Structure 1
Amino acid sequence: MSELAIRSGQKSVLITGCTPGGIGHAIAEEFHAKGLFVIASARRPEVLKDLAAKGIATVSLDVTSQESIAQCKEEVTKLTGGRLDFLVNNAGRTHTVPATDLDIDEIRATFETNVFGVMAMCKAFVSLLINARGLIINIASLSAASPYIFGSSYCASKGAVVSYSRCLRQELRPFGVRVTVVMAGTVRSNIANTVHPLVEGSLYEPVADLYAKRQVYSQNNKTMDTPAFARQVVNNALRPEVPILLRAWFGRRDWFWCGGMSTIVWLGTILGEWILDVGAWRVFGLQKLKDYLDAKRKQKALAAKADEKTE
């Protein structure tokens, strides 16, 4: 556990998933720059040496392990005196595989981190958050609102985070604990570099090139630099609390759309889901697969007619 001590009146923040090169790491640096007592976490805290050197407290945390979460809570309680002003649930797992090729164990692993880990963290730290009348920041994704083709498992996990957060916001409102959902767009992150090859015999082998492009889509399309994204997330978290009708303009937003393509997808949710469907179809080029299959069916039909004539 870190030897750092919180100052009197200093606000505290715990961030999950702070491995270098990712969003959590940048958010930790930004909160630190704003003068907060930052507790950065990762499964292997030794990877956080650069944050520790800057005066940031570091702890070991695996959000898929109840034992690890309990140990982390004990350490955070000692570090902060039993209060937590901000909990940032950032730890996540990418999963880009066609829906018909999914491995059930891989789906479970995705949900363990992206969904159950968030739920477990909120349950474990709620007492500390209540003591501080704190704020929970759940990092979701545009994929919760848009058909992010070949990402059905990931989309489902982020959609679950969104629905969970809606209920959580209302349930914790009487206790003075607030909830912000970050609808993250395309952001520079090492997590997006995990590549899953097509399984043998996949329905999508004819468009393997499209699938390969999709694997790195978030890193090549209006991608926001990680520090810029972190700055916007932290600035929103630190904005004043105002009445809900004025919140989107003058205070902290409950739903914070941020990152590359976030404005486009947000507009799509207003104009209608059909807009998002048409956009995804065109962006990811699945017309190419439809044309290929239509041509194959036509060839098969012509061959069948030719056989009939020769009989």
Structure 2
Amino acid sequence: MAQKSVLITGCSEGGIGDALAKSFHRRGFRVFASARNLAKVQHLKLMGLDIIELDVTDEVSITQAVLTVKAETGGHLDVLVNNSGAGYSMPLLDSDMKVAKKMFDVNVFAVVAVTQAFAPLLIASKGTIINIGSVLGKMPFPWQGFYNASKAAVAMITDQLRIELSPWGVRVILVNTGAIRTHFFDNLPSKPVLPEDSLYYPAKHLIEPALAGSEVEGNAMEVNAYAEVVVNNAIRRNPQKHLWSGGGARVTWLASTFGWSTVWDTLMPRVAKLPDIKKLIYASEKATQDRQKPK
């Protein structure tokens, strides 16, 4: 039998894509590990993996990657993993639209663009698409609303693709990813700091650590263990179409599956310390009002 192949986007060292590439390689797949900066995947090349320069937001770069894989495999691709992603932590009221749109280009539109480009190769092999989503696409965790919305879009796009590609026997899997130990928060476009005119500024000492990822550190799953779960599912005869893995994934699944439509209104305030934040904001507003009273 011909060696099966997989292309993974976003394989920079230390991330989910890196761990997935190594896991697929151990299973005997020919792995095309891609990244915008090839210097960040040289360690994979030394391990015997193929590395490809790929910017998922650039049409020319995507086209070149397809041509490379097509030439190397004879026109087939067994697995495509849409893993590339960008983060953005900031309350919606303080969010920069330019940063949010750039993030959506990576997290949402690139998923479709890359899938469109590799579709002929996937159809030729009746292959599998794996989209790396997030549990945050299922719950409105505060202070990163645009990121959450982008992952909710990925979830819908995944289900849409599974239905639309079913005539050709292409399988499409969504991974609802929980907290994973990677460099994700280190790679945010800028240090998450509340602007001084933010309505939330009085509670900055509670919110800014959350923007930087403090809420996920203690509950995070080791990235290589996560990768094994994802790959084990992918190579099954009948894989789970919605796979949940990572810190907090099971709790999120339970609440989003069996809870009422606004269950997060009840669960989230305590998790996100909203009562304490509310007290700080109200206290600051009262202090301002008191200073403004005529003496």
TM-score by length of 2: 0.93
Whether the aligned pair in 1 keeps the contact of 2:192 and 2:208 (CA below 8 Å) is no
Partner of 2:205: 209
1:73-106 Cα distance to aligned partner (Å, 9 max, x none): 0001111111011000000001101101111110
C-alpha separation between the residues in 2 aligned to 1:109 and 1:22? Answer: 20
Partner of 1:264: 251
Partner of 1:68: 61
Partner of 1:5: none
Q: How does 1:45-60 map to 2 (within 5 A)?
A: 45-60=38-53
Out of 205, 224, 229, the residue aligned to residue 227 of structure 1 is: 224
Whether the aligned pair in 1 keeps the contact of 2:203 and 2:280 (CA below 8 Å) is no
Q: Does 1:291 align with 2:291?
A: no
Q: How does 1:89-238 map to 2 (within 5 A)?
A: 89-193=82-186, 194=188, 195-214=191-210, 215-217=212-214, 219-238=216-235
Q: How does 1:74-93 map to 2 (within 5 A)?
A: 74-93=67-86
C-alpha separation between the residues in 2 aligned to 1:301 and 1:218? Answer: 33
Aligned residues: 290
1:216 offset after TM fit, Å?
A: 1.5
C-alpha separation between the residues in 1 aligned to 2:110 and 2:146? Answer: 16
Larger Rg: 1
Structure 1: runs of 5 or more not aligned: 1-7, 242-251
1:297 offset after TM fit, Å?
A: 5.5
C-alpha separation between the residues in 2 aligned to 1:177 and 1:200? Answer: 50
Whether the aligned pair in 2 keeps the contact of 1:17 and 1:90 (CA below 8 Å) is yes
1:148 offset after TM fit, Å?
A: 1.6
Which amino acid counterpart does residue 112 of structure 2 have in structure 1?
Answer: M
Structure 2: runs of 5 or more not aligned: none
Partner of 1:10: 3
1:218 offset after TM fit, Å?
A: 5.5
1:31-90 Cα distance to aligned partner (Å, 9 max, x none): 001111111000011221111111100000000000000000000111111101100000
Which amino acid counterpart does residue 243 of structure 2 have in structure 1?
Answer: F
Whether the aligned pair in 2 keeps the contact of 1:146 and 1:277 (CA below 8 Å) is no
Which amino acid counterpart does residue 91 of structure 2 have in structure 1?
Answer: P
Whether the aligned pair in 2 keeps the contact of 1:210 and 1:284 (CA below 8 Å) is no
C-alpha separation between the residues in 2 aligned to 1:71 and 1:168? Answer: 23
C-alpha separation between the residues in 2 aligned to 1:67 and 1:277? Answer: 44
C-alpha separation between the residues in 1 aligned to 2:193 and 2:33? Answer: 32
Question: Which secondary structure state, in structure 1, belongs to the residue aligned with residue 6 of structure 2?
Answer: strand
1:195-221 Cα distance to aligned partner (Å, 9 max, x none): 321123111111112222212236413
Indicate how the Cα distance of structure 1 residues 273 and 282 shifts in structure 2: closer, same or farther if over 3 A, else same. farther
C-alpha separation between the residues in 2 aligned to 1:130 and 1:50? Answer: 31
Which amino acid counterpart does residue 83 of structure 1 have in structure 2?
Answer: H
Aligned Cα RMSD in Å?
A: 1.8
Indicate how the Cα distance of structure 1 residues 220 and 273 shifts in structure 2: closer, same or farther if over 3 A, else same. farther
1:277 offset after TM fit, Å?
A: 2.7
C-alpha separation between the residues in 1 aligned to 2:195 and 2:285? Answer: 24
Whether the aligned pair in 1 keeps the contact of 2:7 and 2:34 (CA below 8 Å) is yes
Partner of 1:3: none
1:152 offset after TM fit, Å?
A: 0.6
Which amino acid counterpart does residue 176 of structure 1 have in structure 2?
Answer: G
Which amino acid counterpart does residue 192 of structure 1 have in structure 2?
Answer: F
